[in-house]
Structure 1
Amino acid sequence: MTKQHVRLDRTPRWIRVRFGEETIADSKQAIVVHERGHLPVYYFPEADIRTDLLTQTSHSTYCPFKGDATYYSIQAGGRTSENAVWRYRDPIPGSDGEGLKGYYAFYWDRVDHWYEEEEEIFVHPRDPYKRVDAIASARHIRIVLDGEVLADSRRPVIVFETGVPVRYYLPKEDVREELLTATDHATSCPYKGDAVYWSVNAGGRTHENVVWSYPSPIPEIPKIAGLLSFYNERVEVYVDGEREPEPQWHRSALDFFNASEIRADGVTTP
């Protein structure tokens, strides 16, 4: 069976993009593009784009699954965002990306705001093939690093997230906080919110940014508020007395559409 490299899905969500106090894209006909090894990307039909605020540049790229991409800068509100927009004017005939003709896409971090319906969203589109479940458990979780026990809990909240290793969120009272040092590292997740981090001092060494927490997660996942979690791939995790194997996970929704392509690449966000 031929493997699919690009998948196009229509989304029923109302999507808007703003830059320089202007709404650059406003669409209820957007599509979500899944591409192997990449995060989902919203593409908008030309009729829903303020093309009058775009200026074509000399920049171009080539994708063997879609074709040649043409780039545009945005000029709005007295500001310019260089090469923030692209489109495949003439996608490769018969390719997975052929349906992108007439659509434009934006670099997420080269515009000011993204909205799904009336909610602002962050980092990247929420993948319709991704699910995040936070479930209270009575499993016995023990976290060990360099021979030192960092946490021991029988009341974890276990987060099952499509495409990511299972994560164990533990009450602070069950974690040896004296071994943790807060850092200024921070990340954002469109499914959970903004995370803060700690390094761990164990075995005479400092292990940077091994632990994180979502102090104020988004309303969809309140159960993990204030709990601490560890990178499974950087510590030893014991569940009910048995050590967990090294985590294996997918990077792209296309890995689920093509089950023979199960991958174990190193994703570094929680």
Structure 2
Amino acid sequence: MTLTAGRGPLSADPAGWFTPALADGAVFAEPHPRRVVAVQAGRTVIDTEDVVMVHRRGHPLRYAFRPDAVGDLRGTPVAEAPGYVHVPWDAVDTWFEEGRELVHYPPNPYHRVDCRPTDRGLRVTVAGTVLVDTTRTVVVFETALAPVLYVDPAHVRVDLLRPSATTSYCNYKGWATYWSAVTDDAVTDDVAWSYPDPLPESRAIAGFLSFDPARAEVLAELPAAAVGADCGCET
């Protein structure tokens, strides 16, 4: 997630607006005062605190570095950050920011996850079978994404769920595991996901389940502005 994705301020469909309007193709670049380390074949090839973060519409969030910090790695000059170059994510084996290993792309310094206990109702039906019907939920508000309800497995027909081989990663919640529903010998793949060991900012939903409205009939009491918006599922 970046300023350019979801309904972020630099996305193609921002939730808010700039006054005066922002020019098309605007790019936001800023100093990112964190230690970034890259490892290739067991050798540290980047280790620097002189980093620029580049937010560009239609592209994942990117780091930019001084050329002398990247050594022999291939770097492309960044027009919006003179004197800095971009190194492709797959040019190295592993990236770290401070002590955290990164997956897919850098974490966005403007991204926030708020998990709040709530009495918003959630009813989930798969192939005519009710898996969830409760008002004891947790609502997750995540920057530039529609809010999502999670539920304690104690309120779910977990006897009808079985683990899937699917996994995904979120820079703000961690590794997700997926669950398929088995009802009357019919299998609905990846109908739900959960974070068994989430990152610290998302501990409140550890082991809780959320359901994919594209794969199940999901009736969730969410803020009116969120109806029909991207659910923010990790797929």
Is the contact between residue 167 and residue 232 of structure 1 (CA under 8 Å) also seen in structure 2?
A: no
SS at match of 1:195: strand
Is the contact between residue 6 and residue 34 of structure 1 (CA under 8 Å) also seen in structure 2?
A: yes
Distance apart, 1:45 and its partner CA: 1.2
Q: Calculate the TM-score normalised by the size of structure 2.
A: 0.79
List structure 1 segments (4+ residues) > 6 angstroms apart after TM superposition: 241-244
Is the contact between residue 141 and residue 147 of structure 2 (CA under 8 Å) also seen in structure 1?
A: yes
**1:245 corresponds to which residue?**
227
The structure where strand makes up a greater share of residues is: 1
Could you tell me how far apart the structure 2 residues matched to 1:241 and 1:32 are?
33
Structure 2 residue runs without a partner (length 5+): 1-20
Distance apart, 1:172 and its partner CA: 0.8
**1:49 corresponds to which residue?**
70
Could you tell me how far apart the structure 1 residues matched to 2:183 and 2:59 are?
35
Distance apart, 1:213 and its partner CA: 0.8
Q: Calculate the TM-score normalised by the size of structure 1.
A: 0.69
The amino acid of 1:247's aligned partner reads: A
Is the contact between residue 29 and residue 45 of structure 1 (CA under 8 Å) also seen in structure 2?
A: yes
Could you tell me how far apart the structure 2 residues matched to 1:234 and 1:109 are?
32
Change (3 A) 1:142 1:26: same
Distance apart, 1:161 and its partner CA: 0.9
**1:269 corresponds to which residue?**
234
Could you tell me how far apart the structure 2 residues matched to 1:35 and 1:206 are?
40
Could you tell me how far apart the structure 1 residues matched to 2:143 and 2:214 are?
17
Change (3 A) 1:187 1:205: same
Distance apart, 1:99 and its partner CA: 2.6
Structure 1 residue runs without a partner (length 5+): 55-71, 73-85, 89-96, 250-266
Q: Which moved more, 1:13-22 or 1:232-241?
A: 232-241
Change (3 A) 1:127 1:240: closer
Could you tell me how far apart the structure 2 residues matched to 1:24 and 1:179 are?
48
Distance apart, 1:227 and its partner CA: 0.7
Task: Let me know the Cα RMSD of the aligned residues.
Answer: 2.7
Change (3 A) 1:158 1:231: same
Larger CA Rg, structure 1 vs 2: 1
**What are the superposed Cα offsets for residues 9-55 of structure 1, whole Å, 9 maximum, x if unpaired?**
2112111111122221122121111121222111111122223xx3x
Change (3 A) 1:157 1:242: closer
